[in-house]
Structure 1
Amino acid sequence: MRLNVRLYGALALTVIALVAAPPCRAQDKVALQLKWAHAFQFAGYYAALQQGYYRTAGLDVDIREGGAAVDVLKVLQDGKADFGVCTTSVLLEKPQDPQITVLGVIFQHSPAILLVPSRAGIRTLSDLKGHRLMDSPSSPDVAAMLKREGVDYAALPRVEHNGDPRDLISGKADAFVSYSTDEPFVLGQLGAPYRIFSPRAYGFDFYGDNLCTSAAQASAHPDRTRAFLAASLKGWDYALKHKEQIVDLILRQYPTNKTRAALMFEALQSEILIEPGLVPLGTQTAERWQSIANTYHDLGILADTRLPATLIYQGNQSWAPPWLGPALIGLLLFVIGAALAWLLYKQYMRRLELGLAKPKLSMIMAGLFICLTIPILFFILIYNYERNSDAIIATLRADVEKARQAAIENIETMIRNVAGTLRMVAEVAGDDPGFFRNEQSRDVLYQALASAPEIDGIYVSFEDGYHRVVTRIDDDRRRSDPEIPAAANWHSSFIDDFSAGANRQRHRTFFDTWENVVAEYSVPTSIDMRALPGYPAAKESRALVVTEPSINPDTGAPVLSVRVPIARNGEFIGVASANITLDVMSRFLATHRASRHSTTIVADPTDGTVVASPDKQKGLQVTDGKLDIARLQNMDDADVRAAYRLHTQMNQDEFVFPSPRDGQELSASFARFPESFGRPWEAVILTPTDDFIGQMKATNQKIVVLIIVLSAIELLLIYLLSRRLAQPIESISRDLKSVEELSFAQTSHRSSKVREIAQLQAAAALLRNSLQSFSAFAPVDVVKGLIKSGIPLALGVEKRTLTIFFSDLEDFSMLAERANPDDLLEQMSAYFEQVSRAISDEHGTVDKFIGDGIMAFWGAPIASADHALRACAGALRAARRMDQVNADWRRQGKPNFRLRIGLNSASVLVGNVGSTERFSYTVMGDGVNVASRLEGMNKSFGTTICISDSVFDAVSGEIVARPLRRVQVKGRKQEFMIYELLGMADSKDPELETRPDDKLLNDMTWVASRCFEQRDFTAAARHYREILQRFPGDPVAKSMLAACVPNLMPAAIDADWA
């Protein structure tokens, strides 16, 4: 009852195709040997080469054309090519030959088919006996199909295969082994009717083209093999998404005798065989290969059905054997039971050793009983469930078979009845062709139509172009034809024969009840009914023809057409036809089910076309804005799509699988119609197994639930007793964990009545309060590191490059003298809070508060590669938050604090300094002094944030900062450039973004500064005046203009100020 589908290729190949493979050596030359002449059959490799996928993978690929004389496997075994396009014949290699490895399967289905012309009168495979076969040596699936149908494949007369389907028309051959991607197009272009026998419709679903290499190649060059496979799959994905582009590429760069239309036909048919939307490109499974090997064995061409160890590419092979899943489940149940028993035993022994409790024998017995008996009980339940399921599944299969047989018989009966009616009409037309050229004949057609509710329309069409039809008028027809009168329920029309020439017309008559005409009119027409699907086949075969489902253009609804030839004196003169609506079949399938929730669908296994579905709408789809017949692989039913995918991958007709919609287990059955039916259809039946074993499963589930509930109550009692004692200790553990993270939220715990636990609670509270006080006097990160490291605190420093931050308040002494102490303290607290939080938000460390100043740094104690950028962001946040605070204070009438900040990046000493009894975590060095001096430089230039050249050089591409001038600070002999920080370059954060005016101010200042640094004081002065004209209050421009003036010549001063 469990589905074990191992997709050896799906997951790994998808990952390989999406993730870049490891690069090979630069332009590693490799050769790819094709098996035939250039065609869309190899489009993915052309696309990979043209799009540069091979080149990106480090491969220089030579694509070599194949042909009838080229043995790809021999070429690979001899080392004359590195990779090749192979078929399932890789299974037929002799053990002593070099082994072949299939990297991935491209065509999930073989294109091999058997074509027969309608003139040959071959309606079933058994009719092929004694007819001439134009055979291909590489079509074992065709051979298997013939063998199953009782045809002696070897005894059929052979005709040399030259690849020309015209030999079918000329009569040189009666049957032609061909590809569904090629020859049907040629016959269609020639207008020659034909019938297709597909091995897939008879249960033989072989792989088509696969990408292969020698096992030695894959082993010796694993990276190259992976790279080639990944690039090839990527090429196929591109080719299938850009068919027209690749067709043009083939016509342009690769010699081919195919036309563009033929290549496009091949592209569309290839996509059906590859099924990229159903399974990942390259998918292959061991089950499918094994099924093919078994077929070869049945044909007598393969002695050993065991798959070669190197057949499936190891890069995508699943390592898990099929028995591993059940074994792991059993092992897991045993381990869980044993572990639970061991844990209970250890817990009781620990309590016993600690003297906390002495376990009772009843408790031990209860625990052991639960741990040891429940798994066994579950095993018994599962075993009985599986045994009973087998019997019930047998009943399920019998009911499924009944539903399949009922569907087949109903459809056969329906078509047989319609065919019988048409034969009578054809006999009348054959005896008296002129009868249907008068109005009385429409009564005969009406009687035939009224006798069969499944017929939508019945008509006769003649070789001379004459056509007469009687149809029902339903809602679908009304919607499709606005000319139909509202009261009309029946319609009759006839079309003049070709002798009418340009005056040929369609004469239409409408009835509300038969014989009561409500409207009639005539319209010109040029339609040729001989071009209808099935007409040429009926003419050639002189037998009943049932067409593929199609959309009736008159109604927009799906129909089947049944055609019977009309003959007079042995000469073909036309056909009698009927269109069968699929509504009748859909209603039958909806009411005749294998079980209450089962689904039966009739489909054509050749391409998955849905013939009939219980839900008519699901049997349709919209393609390029047009209504079309759905296929099993894209039907609007997730269960059907999943069943078809698994049927394709496993090549099995009966299996169970989980529903992708709700996870319930479904039984799938794919059963072919008998060959005598005349169409290669199959019944697809999906049945929820719960419809048969649901009651038993529900009973088992109730028992399981009862056992679980009782066991849970026992376990709960044990848990509550142990929890009663452990809860206070767990609370203490949580408190200590919070303290480790410096989270000091107060928690309320009931004091334990156990003395030792109460002492632990008191100790934990004392530790929390102590660390809370300590963290208020030391950097938080330092405290966290100290707690987590467990290393005793000691004096010591290290050299590290940091960014140091100094800030203070302008004219704070004057403010302090005039302000009320309480008001000043309130404002200072707000100031310290805002700046400290800004530093903390950017992961900085506040070192100390120095009067009205703050010292901080980035890059310690936690190292940070972007410490300079973080420092700039912290400084901007501090300045702009203080702007907001000052705005509030102005509204309240309070004095404002003007913040000044200096930033410098330098190599300094950082660590614990002080005495043996009192430590301080701080930084020391010349870089610290420079940062302090830069903070003071703000006063000279009227700026807020002054940064050094080391900070600017570190983050120049990520900030907006304008140059001030070169300065020399106290303690430094060498001058260096300083800058004013205006904002972050690309930030949208209001606290960090560069304001629009600041961007212009920055650009203008850079121009002026360059002139100043080049000692072109005249130009510099002019540019600084331009800044003042645009920004009259800019203190930097005023300061720098004042610096320029002493260096100007008097004449320049007069000219500039004139």
Structure 2
Amino acid sequence: MIKEVEPPPISFKLTLLRWLTMVASLALAASHPATALDAVSMQLKWKHQFQFAGYYQALEQGFYRDAGLDVTIREGGPDIDVSEAVARGKADFGVCSAGILRDWGAGRRLVVLAAIFQRSAAVILVARRADISSVADLRGRTLMDTPGSDEIAAMLKREGIDYQSMLRVPHEGNPRDLLAGRADAMVAYSTNEPFVLERLGAAYRTFAPAASGIDFYGDNLCASEAEVKARPDRVASFRAASVKGWAYALAHKEATVDLILRKYSAKKSREALLFEAEQTATLVGRDIDRIGEQDPARWRGIAAVYRQLGLLTDDTLPAALIWDGNDDSLQRWLISLVLVPVGLAIAALVAYRNRRSLRVAIARLGALPPFATMGRPRLSLIMSLLFIGLSIPVLIFIMIYNYNKNSAGIVSILNDAVAQTSQAGVERTQDLIENTESPLRFLAEVAASDPGYFRIEQSRDLMYRALTSAAHIDAAYVSFEDGYHRVVTRIDEDRRRADPRIPAIANWHSSYVDAITNSLLRVRHRTFFDIWPNQVGKYDVATEIDIRTLPGYQSAKTTRTLAVTEPSINPDTGFPIISLRIPIFRGVEFIGCASANITMDVLSRFLDRHRASAGSTTFVADRNNGKIIAFPDKQKGVRIENGVLKIATLADIDDPVVREAHREHARTGADRFVFRSPINGEDLIAAFANFPGGFGQAWQVITLTPIDDFVGTLKRTNRLMMVVIIALTTVELFFIYFASSRLSRPVENVSRQLQSIESLNFDTPARPPSNIHEIAKLESAASLLRTSLKSFSSFVPLDVVRQLIKSGIPLTLGVEPRFLTVFFSDLENFSTHSETLAPDDLLIQISTYLEEVSSAIAEEGGTVDKFIGDGVMAFWNAPAERSDHVLRACTAALRAARRMERVNDVWEAEGRPRIHLRIGLNCAKVLVGNVGSSNRLSYTALGDGVNVAARLEGINKLFGTTICISDSVYDQTKNEILARPIKRVQVKGRKTKFMIYELLALRMSDDPELRIRHRDEQLSAMTQQASQEFEAGDLPAAEHAYRDLLKEFPEDSLARFMVAECTGKQGSGLAKVPPA
């Protein structure tokens, strides 16, 4: 009958697991928005361009979709009023300017969600002319402007200029109008119009409000107050996704530009959009973690400016102007912050409730081979390591902390030095240009007032003064539209080598080229001077030169301002020069250019002298084509290609460090980074600093500085300190280990004594007591424990005590169910032997028998439970668990039986009687543990499985067998043992019959005590065949088989019994075996 099993109670751990699952589900639900997409619109303030790149990428990369939003981006334009559209609900979100403060006064209650542009992009551009060099010079000038330039108005007012009263010119967004002179200045965006001017090569000046202290925010993400109050979750999600989009756009500028060209607008070129991207990154800020930040103090400053302009009557900020950020994302974070401690508390509670399992797990981990073989460290080692753990990390921490702090300070100094060097390079280059521009403008003004002056020889004195006004000017010349050209130059060794007609003592040169006429022949008239104006030679030479075709001439004509050319090779000197050209206008008519050639030797020498460090290199290059403008080693600034002298570039310069910096800059797009030198592997900091807008050329100052120039000494000092610390620590550790060994030796002696006691080895030699009081008391206690346990072991079986000590089972009342293999043995006819033998002989034989059986059990890890007269009870798999306990029990039974056979042979030779051993084995789940009373305990096994083993031992007598095993033992070990079936039996206490077997040997063993003996396999096979016939009920066939077995093994008692069983001479009652 099958009993109905009650469901087990829900455990504490399972309950906690369910609670944790529920808490995690709630956390996930609280931290993730709904999946349904909410349709919203975004209104831009102008046409599609990089100015709105973050919103494009938020849409493209799915950031809006992940936030549960379906966003439509609407293009802006001159007729779109974003504030009006957002305030009236025509758009949910928009890009607004700082003028949002004025919108509040007009009843448009708009909220700034994020200040995307930390600076306003609005600037004033002027052509580079001497008469407009500051904002104050704009007084009385004409201005190309569009409505709404509040920050421009504030800048002008600060300089005393009434913005409203300035003469206005319609603004068509074309910088060429500025160059053409339609206005003196134009309001522009720093991200757009300067690109056109730089592409034209036009020099210009920029006046930014921030430089005048007008610190306005630029583009702001805004929404209506009604939207923020009605849908705070949606507003927060849109803002977060937009900021994320901006971070992505700025990190992937080229990909974003491609996206704009592909999906939004192709009106701008890719180069223009990339220029805009770089400028936009400056306005947004380089720190992507701070995108969108806004400061109430800055808004109050902006409001104060508006009040000063008379645009606001009160500079108090509206309470709802700045988004406070109290959105559901904050709520989700708060929920997470609450749930995390709760989860940790629950986990700690679970760990506390299961601390015993944790200890068991740690114990099992320690029993694993990798850990078990390691053993436990010695006390002396622990004391040494304790010192190391307490002192060395502190020293290392102090050293590392000092190194990091010092490194941070030195790196800060390095950055400052690099910045100063870069700035010095920019300023020095600008000085070269400005120092050249001034005399050129004077020449241009003279030519404009009297064009014929430069066609007479007296003009060369004026040009000589212009040439000698700066050491870096190599040539000064005035060229006219009719082809007439006059020049004054220096003469050096390079020029003398190039033209042998130049007198050896000449230092100066002046020449002029005739105007272009119908004559096919034009002549260059050259005059040479040693000391100006002392002539030392002259000659005329035919020429076809046309200055109008040289670089920069047409640019100056078109842009009507200073033109700076790209570097080119001076054919006379073989080194780079650049040309500056100032256009000459007589009224509105362009009549020519005043020009100068600048050698970069002066700048190269300056860069060589002014280094950020001894190993630093600073040079100037064109950021568009990579051409070297100035390099400390001027020989590296040029290269020969196919016999032609050319200017080197960053990609092909004969300097592997520079080439590597260029490659890394192109790869990362960063303006400051650390890279490794391909020459010696040292780390260098590369800094790329662009020349300011308006210079006329896209140049940059590049500084490469070895970090070790600044931190090298610190590194060397730290390495030396580390060596000294290691050396001192090594010496100190030697003395500490020596002292700790002397101190710990008595404790280790006590530990060894206790280990011997644990193994029940009581032969440990005594040692002199320690002089330390506490250790002496510990030694005394260990000695007392050894004596007590030795006495206790005299009354309790030593094996049981050893197993109990090693297993760690406490000596308290209690049992547990466990699957054991139980062993019973006794001697056949022991009572008869005890009556016939003398007591001394009986003691010898019984002691020998018990010794042999006990040793066989112990060798196979069994536990001897008790001796019952001549009987022995033992079991396996308790107290220590063994996975192969059934096979071990079979092995012990075979050893005991075969050892007793040898002992009997000896006894027989001595004239003593033989004693036949009988063994019974059974494996089953029984109760095992400490039983008895509180005063007397016995570690034993109880249960039906134990009784069956005892019955099997007794049943040997009936069948004449030695080792009788149950079917459960046979099933567990049939592949390893050789056994033969006996018969199905029913023992006392059992209602069903089961098959029993006689154990003969182990199959795969070579041990003489275990291996298969001669004819064992034949005996097993023949018995197996006969048993099958008997169990099948074919008694005649079974009888015949058993008789055949008797013919082969006449002494086989089992075969004789089974023959009788088959013929019916044995009563049927024998099938139920009486108790042994």
TM-score band by shorter chain is 0.3 to 0.5
**Normalization by structure 2: what TM-score?**
0.43
**Normalization by structure 1: what TM-score?**
0.43
Larger C-alpha radius of gyration, 1 or 2?
Answer: 2
